[in-house]
Amino acid sequence: METVKQPTQSLVEKDLQNVWHHISAYNEKSQPMIVDRGEGAWIIDHNGNKYLDGMSGLWAVNVGYGREELAQVAYDQMKKLAYVPMTQSHEPAIELAAKLNDMLGGDYMFFYSNSGSDANEVAFKIARQYHQQNGEGARFKFISRYRAYHGSSMGALSATGQAIRKYKYEPLSHGFLHVAPPDNYRRPKGQSIKEYNLQRAQELEDKIIWEQKETIAGIIMEPLITGGGILIPHPVYLEKVQEICNKHGVLLIIDEVICGFGRTGKAFGHQHFNLKPDIITMAKGLTSAYLPLSVTAVRKEIYEKFNTGEENSHLRHLNTFGGNPAACAVALKNIEIMERENLFERSAELGDRLQKELKELSNHPYVGDIRGLGFLLGIEMVEDKITMEPASNERVLKIVSDCKGNGLIIGKNGDTVAGYNNILTISPPLSCTDEDLEFMIAVLKKVFKENE
Ligand code: PLP
């Protein structure tokens, strides 16, 4: 592929005049990075600069860039049959649903949409309608956690627990409640992680009881909070949440939009825990973002309530593009690649090596905690290791920008979490080579050393 040698200033100007970037404030001083192409774990900008993409785009390009097999399968499918609405059916959608069911141990039905937000909206609608048709129409509320992100559409944003993304768009949907997630690093002094996680789960149960359990439709949570700062619960937390859901007739919705498809070292994040979610939402890694596609997986017992033969008992939801044939064909091939290359196991291996190598950063004056699961890492920065005061935005951004200056893109938990915007996030393609991993480790060590 040809490399563009000169910065294309006219392209930058055109961009600044016409493109409204997502969740970004651009101006002449902070110009957009115009990405030209991707190869493996690397992206190359319009000036020919190479960066290891330590965020897989937005936690999505799990198999890495430039996979010809995925382009080919999309091309073949578009030529053969570009589109069918999902009121009908087609082979890639059928095969993909069957494959996903194999990966989940059977017992699910699959509803196709386009994005993670869509998949969560569908989950909320299914949960409410299910309860209505089950004779429990008062169950309309959902509980999620502060710091969690579940999407940008009105329902998914309502479930999101990051006020800064929400307050200018109020009023949002009625009936979305929040509780605090376990943040093990910041647990009260003297309390064991297990005890603390059980206490957090108890607070969730208390919320259900205070709100009147007959009004609660579902709980939505990621297996671990990703965008909100890599908060990994002790297994007792999620297992207790499952128990609470069973006890109070509340549906457990697990958001696997980031954690799914190998990110945490297993096919799905919830498979680390003893869980049987009622509803599972997926997107991003499903197609490694080569095409938009998302899925809401629903336990068959719930699905049956939509097929009672009663008038209007079916799900009143559709979208034009969900289950697009090329997107489904790409998802199938993407999963085939992950299995062929053992990328779920590779994710666990790469993540372990990354954590071991970076352990020495715990001695860095501004590093409070390093944590991860699979190829997903969080580095929590503090101003002071004793008081654990979160590091300033400037300090954290300096690390992000110095990494970029050294050819490594890493993330930060946005401007999203009130008070805690101090966590660096690293979520590279699962297809990273050993050399990619070594590069990443070398850059991180160098940059932290220079910022002591
Ligand atoms: N759920 C989680 C956990 C996410 O991280 C995201 C997006 O980052 C979403 C849902 C929403 O997905 P999308 O951006 O595809 O709507």
User: What is the CATH number for 114?
Assistant: 3.40.640.10
**Residue 4 within any structural domain of the chain:** no
Q: Tens digits of per-residue pLDDT, 173-209?
A: 999 999 999 999 999 999 999 999 999 999 999 999 9
Q: How far is the CA of 451 from the centre of ligand 1 (A)?
A: 32
Ligand 1 centre to CA of 379 (Å) is 21
Count of CB atoms within 10 A of residue 3's CB? 11
Residue 237 lies in a domain: yes
Residues 146, 241 within the same domain:
yes
Sign of the four-CA dihedral 97, 292, 91, 321: positive
Residue 2 lies in a domain: no
Per-residue pLDDT of the chain (452 residues; tens, 9 = 90+): 445 445 578 898 899 899 999 888 766 667 789 999 999 999 999 999 999 999 999 999 999 999 999 999 999 999 999 999 999 999 999 999 999 999 999 999 999 999 999 999 999 999 999 999 999 999 999 999 999 999 999 999 999 999 989 999 999 999 999 999 999 999 999 999 999 999 999 999 999 999 999 999 999 999 999 999 999 999 999 999 999 999 999 999 999 999 999 999 999 999 999 999 999 999 999 999 999 999 999 999 999 999 888 888 999 999 999 999 999 999 999 999 999 999 999 999 999 999 999 999 999 999 999 999 999 999 999 999 999 999 999 999 999 999 999 999 999 986 666 778 899 999 999 999 999 999 999 999 999 999 99
Q: Are residues 198 and 336 in the same domain?
A: yes
Residues 433 and 311 in one domain: no
Q: Is residue 230 part of a domain?
A: yes
Q: Ligand 1 centroid to 115 CA: how many Å?
A: 7
Write out the DSSP string of 93-121: HHHHHHHHHHHTTS-EEEEEESSHHHHHH
Maximum distance among all Cα pairs of the chain, rounded to whole angstroms: 68
CA of 314 to the centre of ligand 1 (A): 26
Domain that holds residue 31: 9-63+342-450
* Final residue of a structural domain among 324, 340, 356: 340
Of 282, 305, 340, at which residue does a domain stop?
340
Ligand 1, pocket-test mutation among 258, 259, 268, most atoms within 8 A of CB: 258
Distance 291 CA to ligand 1 centre (A): 15
Assess whether the C-beta atom of 255 lies below 6 angstroms from ligand 1. Answer: yes
Q: What angle do the packed helices 434-450 and 343-358 form, to 10 degrees? A: 30
Give yes or no for a contact between 56 and 281, defined as CB atoms under 8 angstroms apart.
no
Domain edge (last residue) among 295, 320, 340? 340
Helix axes 325-340, 343-358, angle to 10 degrees: 60
**Closest atom of ligand 1 relative to the 148 alpha carbon:** 3
261 and 140 in a single domain? The answer is yes
Give the atom of ligand 1 at the shortest distance from the alpha carbon of 292.
15
Confidence (pLDDT) at 1: 47
Angle at 220 between CA 351 and CA 133, to 5 degrees: 145
20 with 169, same domain?
A: no
Q: Contact, 322 vs 86, CB < 8 A?
A: yes
254 and 329 in a single domain? The answer is yes
Residue 1 lies in a domain: no
Tell me the three state secondary structure of residue 32: coil
The best mutation among 56, 149, 256 to test binding of ligand 1, ranked by most ligand atoms within 8 Å of the C-beta, falls on 149
Closest residue by CA, ligand 1 atom 13: 116
Query: Does ipTM surpass 0.90 in this model?
Result: yes
On whether both 31 and 108 belong to a single domain, the answer is: no
With beta carbons less than 8 A apart as the criterion, state whether 106 and 270 touch. Answer: no
Residue nearest to atom 10 of ligand 1 (CA): 150
Ligand 1 mean position, distance from CA 112 (Å): 15
Residues 208 and 155 in one domain: yes
* 131 and 266 housed in the same domain: yes
- Centroid of chain to Cα 23: 17
What is the pTM for the complete model shown? 0.97
Residues 177 and 289 grouped into a single domain: yes
Task: Based on the fold, state whether residues 268 and 214 are members of the same structural domain.
Answer: yes
Neighbouring C-alpha atoms within 13 Å toward the C-beta of 119: 29
Classify residue 3: in a domain, yes or no: no
Do 324 and 308 belong to one domain? yes
What angle separates helix 434-450 from helix 393-405, to the nearest 10 degrees? Answer: 130
Residue 379 to residue 396: CA distance in whole angstroms: 10
Peptide bond into 188 cis (omega under 30): no
Determine the Cα–Cα distance for residues 50 and 37; give it in Å rounded to an integer.
10
Residue 46 falls inside a structural domain: yes
Q: How many residues does the chain have?
A: 452
Q: Is 160 in the pocket of ligand 1 (CB under 6 A)?
A: no
Domain count, the chain: 2
Q: How far is the CA of 188 from the centre of ligand 1 (A)?
A: 30
In this prediction, residue 4 carries a pLDDT of 46
For 179, phi then psi, to 5°, come to -130, 165
pLDDT score of 307: 86
